[in-house]
Structures are given as C-alpha cells and as structure tokens.
Amino acid sequence: MSNEAHNKDWVSRLDGLDHAAGEAGLDKNAAWDRLHTRIQSKQRSNKALWYWAAAACVLAACLIPALLVHKQKYTGVHIAPAVTYRHLDTPATLVISKKEAPVNVMKEMNKPVAAQQEVAAILPALVHPVNPTSIAATLKKDTLQITDTMLAAVPAATAPKKMRVVHINELGEATVREVVYPEYKPFTIRVNSPAGLGDQTIANSTLNIHLSPKN
Amino acid sequence: MDLPVLIKEAKQGSAAAQKCIFDQLADKMLMVCRRYVKNPEDAEELLLDGFYKFFKGLPAFNYQGEAALYTWLKRIMINECLMFLRKKQAFVIVSETVAETIPLEEEALNNLSATDIFNLIVQLPAGYRTVFNLHVIEGMNHGEIASLLGISEGTSKSQLSKARSLLQKMLLQKNITYVKRSTQ
C-alpha cells in the first residue's frame, strides 16, 4: 500500500459514485439478460462437452475389449508356420552335364540298373533344396566361352526328359524276355496240327511243353 | 434480502439471487470500469465479463462480510479493465526513471464533487489515468503497479507525477472557471 498520506475523503466519495452526471444509467434488466444468457450458454456448452466426453468414454470402453479380442484372433491367424531347416552334411546338387544325351529308351531299357542309379541320383535333388552355388559351379565348368563377345553360351539346366511310352511289341523279344517279363513264353497256335484245332506249343528256351487238347 | 443470504443462494445457482446481487452492485462496478476505460460501451461489456467471472468463482468464495465481497468484485473488474487495455494497447507508457514529486492538491479535490473528480480523471490520458487510479484510489504501491502493468517502478512513479501535474492544471482551470462563475 502507498505510504503517502492522502486525504481519503474525495477518494471514498469517488468510490461510492453510482452514476456519472449527465449520462444515462445502466439498463440493468437488459444487462442482466445478456449476462444470464452468457452464463446459461456457457453452462450448456460445458454440459455438452461433458456429454461428449462421456460418450467418448463409453465408446472407448466398448471398443477396447472388442479390439483386444479381435487382435488376439488376428495374431492367431497370422502367425507364420515354424520353419525348420535341416542341416545337410553334403549339399544336394543337381549335376547336369552337357554330355548327357537324350535318353534312348531302347538303350536305357537294356541297362535297367544304370537308369535306376541315375534316377536315384536326381531324385534327392528334386526333393531337397538345391545348393545354387554348386549348380553355378557346375554350369561354369561346362560353359562355352566365346572370346570375342561378352556373351557366354551356358547349357540350360533342364529337367530330365520324360521317357517315351513304348508299346511292348516295339521292344523286341529279347528285351521283353530279359527286362520286362523274364518268364515270357512265346506260343503259337497251329491249326493243322496232329491234335487238330487248338493245339498249342509254348516255346520256351528251357522248357518245351506241348499241350494238346484232351478229348 | 440480505447479502449473505443472496450469496448463499447464488452459490447454489439461483438466478434470482444472482440478479439481486447484480442489481445491487452493477452501478458502482460500472463506475469503476468507467474510471479505467473511457468508452461507456466497452465499460459495460467489461462489467458483464467481470460479473460472469464473479458468479463463476462464487462457489469457491468464502463470504467474510460485505466489504470483502466488494473488494473482491472490484478487483475482478479492475483486472478485466487492465486486460482490456493491454489487449487494445490503449496506453503506451514511455519508461522514465526520473520523476518529480508533485503533491496533489487534496484540498482542491475535497472541494469538488465526486462527479467532477470522476470527469477530471476520465480526461487524463490512459497511461496516466491507469497509474493514478491504481496508486491514489486503489492504494497500490509502485512495485505492485509495476508488476501489474509490466513496467518499471520508476516509470510508474513518473506516470503518476505527470498525472498529478496534469490534474493540477485541470484543477486550476476548473477553479478559475469556478471563481469566474461565482463572481459573475
């Protein structure tokens, strides 16, 4: 507060002044109406704010559990299956040589054991993952270098060709006898045989059986 | 109705009680606002703002007598006025450290009516008027005024000194007119 001494008479008179002379006084009713409207509108806006806040809370309370449940399901669906990598001592390689000629069915049929060995060599490579470095190394070894160009002729790594389906009659008697049907016995039907119609002779290299119909 | 009862009911949100309080105190508070803000429309708007804050803060107010209530309400009004003046940049106070101490002619002021004093104060420039009101009428010291207006104490003192000087001149003119009028 001020230390200066004032004669407070005029100050108290000024403080108690209700209205300025020559001026219209305050229209209290109109002023009150404006003030009351302002108070009520603020209260209304505050109420509205609370209602919105409450609605937001309710919505959040409903959504959060639903989202959590959905999230659990969602994670269950999208879990990646466990992948187990098998360690191979010797990486399986697909050996492809340009020297390999197309399979000659007749020759292969004549060498059944060799064909089986080759298939056995190829099958693991098809079943198990192939080591690409070994393929590259193999291909590089067999690559034909063209010196005057930047290109290199690389034999395409082709899958083993399908074997041609051959009718058994095309194989020949010797092949059928050895490979397909070792117990093959050619037979002929003679019409003018001593036994008459139906006389059959089963030719066998080891056993020559003559069957005659029993009348 | 008694003011304590009205306050109690107004605290509970009674619009009728609030209107009674408004009717009782609005005139005086309007004059407080008018002392700071010259424009009557602005002063009326500030009065409503002040009463709105008053009713908003009333539930937390502990009634300790009529004087305390009046002081609190008056302080709210003064703060509203100062905020308004600051917002409108109604006064630019030039910082000065040197201030002459000019005594106020209390005798001359005592001879004037409250309305005349009010009219003299309103004629002062906004900066002088604000410091004069805060120091002489509200009884604040220069430190409080400086912190309230964001100026230095020296500036507050110099503003008060200039306000007094101007008021002396105005009083002198008024007395001359008064003497002239009385002798005619």
Cβ within 8 Å, pair A36-B19: yes
Say whether pLDDT at B118 is over 80: yes
Cβ within 8 Å, pair B115-A20: yes
Please list the residues that pair with A189 across neighbouring strands: A200
Q: Give the gap in angstroms from C-alpha A6 to the nearest C-alpha of chain B.
A: 7
pLDDT band at B115 (very low <50, low <70, confident <90, very high): confident
Q: Which two tokens stand for residue B157?
A: 């003192």
Average pLDDT estimate for A103-126? 58
Percentages helix, strand, coil for chain B (3-state, rounded to 5) are 75, 0, 25
Q: Give the gap in angstroms from C-alpha A50 to the nearest C-alpha of chain B.
A: 17
pLDDT band at A198 (very low <50, low <70, confident <90, very high): low
Selected for mutation to probe chain A from B52, B56, B134 (highest A CB count within 10 Å) is: B52
In this prediction the ipTM stands at 0.78
Model pLDDT for residues A56-108, shown as the tens digit of each residue: 999 999 888 888 887 776 555 556 666 766 666 665 555 555 555 555 555 54
Q: Give the gap in angstroms from C-alpha A45 to the nearest C-alpha of chain B.
A: 14
Cβ within 8 Å, pair B28-A13: no
CA distances from A204 to A64, A143, A173, A186 (A): 88, 53, 12, 7
Q: Which of A6-10, A49-53, A210-214 has the lowest mean pLDDT?
A: A210-214
Q: Which of A35-39, A73-77, B10-14, B63-67 has the lowest mean pLDDT?
A: A73-77
Say if A12 is an interface residue toward chain B (CB within 8 Å): no
DSSP assigned state of A73: H
Higher pLDDT, A81 or A146: A81
Which of B158, B164, B31 is closest to B105 using CA atoms?
B164
